[in-house]
Structure 1
Amino acid sequence: MAEKMLQFVTRPQEMPDKRPAAERAQDFGEIYRGFALQRAEEQASRCSQCGIPFCSVHCPLGNNIPDWLKLTAENRLQDAYLMSSATNTFPEICGRICPQDRLCEGNCVIERGFESVTIGAVERFITENAFENGWVTPNLPQAERDRSVGIVGAGPAGLACAERLRARGYQVAVYDRYDRIGGLLSYGIPSFKLEKHVVERRGALLQEQGVVFHLNTEIGDAEGQTSLSELRARHDAVFLATGVYRARTAPMPGAGLRGIAPALDYLTASNRRSYGDVVPAFEDGTLDAKGKAVVVIGGGDTAMDCVRTAVRQGAKSVTCLYRRDRANMPGSMQEVSNAEDEGVVFHWLGVPEAFLGDDRVSAVRARRMKLGMPDATGRQTVEPEPGPGLVIEADMVIEALGFEPEHLPELWAQPDLVTTPWGTIKIARDSFMTSLPGVFAGGDIVRGASLVVWAIRDGRDAADAIDAWVGAPESEMTLAAE
């Protein structure tokens, strides 16, 4: 039995062991080794069991974090897993990729002075231990229902919705354009943060549960595609969880030069290689950073994924160019630190002005910036700094500037599907219903590019809304257009 709680005064914070930078930069394996049982218990015992658990308050899923920390400290590990999985469909994934420094750990009440509890590492330990002991089983329904739901998108929002509805007995079919489930979990996030067997293992559980996957299925109105109208006729309800995949670009002189690639194209090629796929754009060197001077433009987690992938591909040099300073980066500070350890050079307060080169990019010309007054959101604006700029050598430029939604009403020939001014699907917030009766939406296609944990939350909440609507179709549920 572990010691009592509130051990943060005498027991220091310890993160899981991290493989040395020189070693981990040579492969795509996860960089953290994971806690052993004793260390997991010890670190969980640091929890203060505070009256108002700000870790839970700032978790999009409202995870009962102090409770499963206490259960872990007491070596009640099966109970800890049951508590953790009650609110989180994929705790083994969130434990690896959630930006805990901005969410639960960043709001831990002992963070100032004693350093936070290592919540993410303990969450990962709890679930991996549960898998090892055979405690993770498909959430089978107690009774079957003759109602079906079609889900468009096999990313975290779609999968979370599928799992929750299937557990209630619905016949659930998931449609996805790709040949594997997971969405960005499979093709966007590198294996050094989330090894692909973790996603595949969860997918196998969903299949055992009875979720049916229709992969390589494009939704649209063109020949050979499955239309949304068909799905609406086939199912009692449809949930749209397509995510946002259209890359933002930087329109500037030289934007058409060879050697400039969108971040998602680059990461998808690398992840497909990890699966053993043949990727022509990688094989011919277009999306391979080996031997190149690589410049990544952007400061979010996607940018960090790109710079760290380039290191592992054997780039000659890797530079990250970001318009604000380190303190104002939107990405995880832990990821920035990992990238620095692996040799990435950061140019803060720099905005690209032009891509230089004849036929192929050879450099990025950037303007130096300074931070100005806060804007309406409280974030400092950026202003040009007088004086000369800088020129950064670049054989390859990766634009990690964020993502925008595809224009689904046009692609799907559904003019009545109402979108917001930003192109995301408009829903009624109390019901997740779009402007089309029986068609719901959630995740990034509603929020814009966001966190995996928010997608899981939307998938779970949308499942509840769909259950309420399908279970009582005569009820009046608000449409998004109203």
Structure 2
Amino acid sequence: MAKQRMLQFVTTDKEMPEKRPAPLRAQDFHEIYREFADAKAAEQAGRCSQCGVPFCQSHCPLHNNIPDWLRLTAEGRLQEAYEISQATNTFPEICGRICPQDRLCEGNCVIEQSGHGTVTIGAIEKYITDTAWENGWVQPIRPHAERGESVGIIGAGPGGLSAADMLRRKGIQVTVYDRYDRAGGLMTYGIPSFKLEKDVVMQRVEQLEQAGVQFVMNCNVGVDLSFDAIRGQHDAVLIATGVYKQRDLAAPGVGAKGVVTALDYLTASNRKSFGDEVEAYENGDLNAAGKRVVVIGGGDTAMDCVRTAIRQGAVSVKCLYRRDRANMPGSQREVANAEEEGVEFVWLSAPRGFTGGESVEGVIVQKMRLGEPDATGRQMPEIIEGADYVEPADIAIMALGFEPEALPTLWGVPDLGVTRWGTVKADFRSHATNLPGVYAAGDIVRGASLVVWAIRDGREAAEAILDYLAQPAAVAAE
């Protein structure tokens, strides 16, 4: 009788891939999790209960067919598992690394809810796709037939690249425009290598280049090339710029040297990982080595900053967040990793300003308490009067989130519809904007969000663009 491969959660405990010891991993920017061995991946995949209604799948933005590729992994059929995973996800090896599985698939795993510990879905997803790359199972993109229609994509982040992948597979001619010198968006310059090593992103970019996708880099739309010019060159255009305008803090001392933004700080660090010359890093402006670091914010970007500062050799790293641990938006897994590496979290604290004059010397901290819930149900932080103190700091990093840039103004397209928050207004199904043949996807529509949502939006937008291009009358009217 064949061995029962699934439903092993009653006899096999949850087990994540081994983490490198915190003192060791805090000295470099390599990924912190070791690889699953074949037997261990199969064992953990076999814990899946093969639910009739898989909540892991329904809570995945891409609705990945998770139970099926877990079963195939448990049975040792890894190439088939990869093919099932790739069918719904353009970048499964990236999602396996950076998705907040504790809030999505794993957080809704049925056996997790029953007290047995979730299936380690993300680690298995990463393992499957890394194995596929190593064994040559990731096939080049080869359209069955070339088509004459052309699509311009503005933004080489996860939304733009996932759309480019789908369109190119259908034979559409695709050109991607991006302001940076490398494709990948925040996957390249925003997320540190200890969460997502850059060769993982670059191998997907190379796959698209080999498939015939044209990349126009260092292209600042509205300055180097007008939006109208891009629109005139293509049969359809997808806006997938993401949101890069960082939220400001209106407080005394904000302009002092040493008060820096998260994106500038992370970009400098990531450029160093590519071997680039980064003057602001070399002169110490964006380098935490030997400094007392205070990071302001409680999201995933703040977690990236504190853990980067540790690796750069900071003397101390503290993270100020105005609510408590239970109410912070960042991944709890990331918080735990940061604490292991030596980061100190100062809960119920918010900045009121900065001391030091020309160069920052400290952060004036307001102590907070949680009051009544707001419209979303989260308790609102309230200031405790008279409890302020100064936290010494040589560098203060503001990780307060991102907002959309004013694209109609920057691009000289006043007719482009936007919401009252400044995001591009697009149909939530088709991703079509109010301009014929112009679509929008990802963070520029939904606001700062997750990579997995951008991938989903890009794939959906590509399908809508294909439908649009199939209407000759609509294209001829352009």
| Bucket of the pairwise TM-score, normalised by the shorter protein | over 0.9
Work out the CA distance in 2 between the residues paired with 1:150 and 1:128. Answer: 30
> What percent identity do the matched residue pairs reach?
64
Deviation at 1:386, TM superposition (A): 4.6
Mean CA deviation greater in 373-382 or 150-159: 373-382
The 5 Å alignment of 1:158-177 reads 158-177=160-179
Deviation at 1:385, TM superposition (A): 2.7
Aligned residues: 473
Amino acid at match of 1:160: S
The 5 Å alignment of 1:110-129 reads 110-112=111-113, 113-129=115-131
Work out the CA distance in 1 between the residues paired with 2:370 and 2:296. Answer: 18
SS in structure 2 of the partner of residue 80 of structure 1: helix
Q: Deviations over 1:249-273 (max 9, x none)?
A: 1111111211000000000000000
Number of the residue aligned with 1:352: 351
Amino acid at match of 1:49: Q
The 5 Å alignment of 1:171-186 reads 171-186=173-188
The 5 Å alignment of 1:41-440 reads 41-112=42-113, 113-220=115-222, 222=223, 225-440=224-439
Deviation at 1:3, TM superposition (A): 4.4
Amino acid at match of 2:18: D
| TM-score, normalising length: structure 2 | 0.97
Work out the CA distance in 2 between the residues paired with 1:430 and 1:75. Answer: 37
Q: Structure 2: 5+ residue runs without aligned partners?
A: none
Deviation at 1:48, TM superposition (A): 0.7
| TM-score, normalising length: structure 1 | 0.97
SS in structure 2 of the partner of residue 467 of structure 1: helix
**1:2, 1:41 within 8 Å by CA — same for their partners in 2?**
no
Deviation at 1:390, TM superposition (A): 2.9
SS in structure 1 of the partner of residue 361 of structure 2: strand
Root-mean-square deviation over aligned CA pairs? 1.2
Work out the CA distance in 2 between the residues paired with 1:2 and 1:120. Answer: 25
SS in structure 2 of the partner of residue 114 of structure 1: coil
Work out the CA distance in 2 between the residues paired with 1:177 and 1:121. Answer: 32
Work out the CA distance in 2 between the residues paired with 1:462 and 1:232. Answer: 16
Work out the CA distance in 1 between the residues paired with 2:186 and 2:67. Answer: 30
Amino acid at match of 1:36: A
Q: Deviations over 1:307-356 (max 9, x none)?
A: 00000000010000000000111010010000000000000001111111
SS in structure 2 of the partner of residue 190 of structure 1: coil
Amino acid at match of 1:317: S
Work out the CA distance in 2 between the residues paired with 1:192 and 1:431. Answer: 35
Amino acid at match of 2:112: E
Work out the CA distance in 2 between the residues paired with 1:156 and 1:8. Answer: 34
SS in structure 2 of the partner of residue 474 of structure 1: helix
Deviation at 1:380, TM superposition (A): 1.3
Deviation at 1:475, TM superposition (A): 5.8
Deviation at 1:2, TM superposition (A): 7.0
Amino acid at match of 1:44: A
Q: Deviations over 1:79-103 (max 9, x none)?
A: 1000000000000000000000000
Work out the CA distance in 1 between the residues paired with 2:286 and 2:371. Answer: 37
SS in structure 2 of the partner of residue 372 of structure 1: strand
Work out the CA distance in 2 between the residues paired with 1:39 and 1:123. Answer: 13
Amino acid at match of 1:67: D
SS in structure 1 of the partner of residue 124 of structure 2: helix
Deviation at 1:139, TM superposition (A): 2.6
SS in structure 2 of the partner of residue 174 of structure 1: strand
SS in structure 2 of the partner of residue 369 of structure 1: strand
SS in structure 2 of the partner of residue 391 of structure 1: strand
Q: Structure 1: 5+ residue runs without aligned partners?
A: 477-482
Deviation at 1:387, TM superposition (A): 4.7
Q: Deviations over 1:83-139 (max 9, x none)?
A: 000000000000000000000000101113111000000000000111111100123
Work out the CA distance in 1 between the residues paired with 2:38 and 2:143. Answer: 32
Work out the CA distance in 2 between the residues paired with 1:66 and 1:369. Answer: 44
Amino acid at match of 1:470: L
Deviation at 1:217, TM superposition (A): 1.4
Number of the residue aligned with 1:480: none
Number of the residue aligned with 1:17: 18
Work out the CA distance in 2 between the residues paired with 1:132 and 1:415. Answer: 48
SS in structure 2 of the partner of residue 110 of structure 1: helix
Amino acid at match of 2:98: I
